[in-house]
Amino acid sequence: MKHIRIVRLLALLICMVGLSAQAQFAKPEAAIKYRQSALTVMGTHFGRLAEMAQGKVPFDAKVAQDNEAVFAVVSKLPWAAFVEGSDKGETKAKAEIWSEGAKFKEAQDKLMAEAMKLNAAAKTGKLEDLKVAVGAVGGACKNCHDQFRAK
């Protein structure tokens, strides 16, 4: 009985999140601001991992895990904010995001797959594992930026 209550509560929360996301992006400007904020936070935490992987700052397994944990959560957020009409205004998003939606989704999926590997690598506490995973995530980010972000 307790499990049923938990499942019902989770279903209700998921519905509420879906409804609030729609309302949150009632204006294209709100979607742009939201995704830019999420991408900034992603970049900050990934940047800290990249600095360790590149030897620019000393490797600290705990700091790497903490930064990866934030990256893992935030990396899921910006994609819902690429809504119709948010291609105008203060944005570097290229029109190809909307005209080549399947290709953009493929780029997102690639990043998410590499982010899962980064999560596993950070949990090992080994710098070599982190280096490999950071390189793969960086490649996924670059690929998407090259195709879908204006300079």
The string of pLDDT tens digits covering residues 67-120 is 999 999 999 999 999 998 999 889 999 999 999 999 999 999 999 999 999 999
Which segments of the chain does DSSP mark as H helices, in order?
A: 2-24, 28-53, 61-74, 96-99, 101-124, 127-148
- Residue 106 is predicted with a pLDDT of 97
3-state secondary structure of 151: coil
Specify whether domain 26-148 bears CATH 1.20.120.10. yes
Does the pLDDT of residue 19 top 50, yes or no?
Answer: no
Of 127 and 23, which is predicted with more confidence? 127
Mean predicted confidence (pLDDT) in 41-64: 97
The predicted model scores a pTM of 0.82
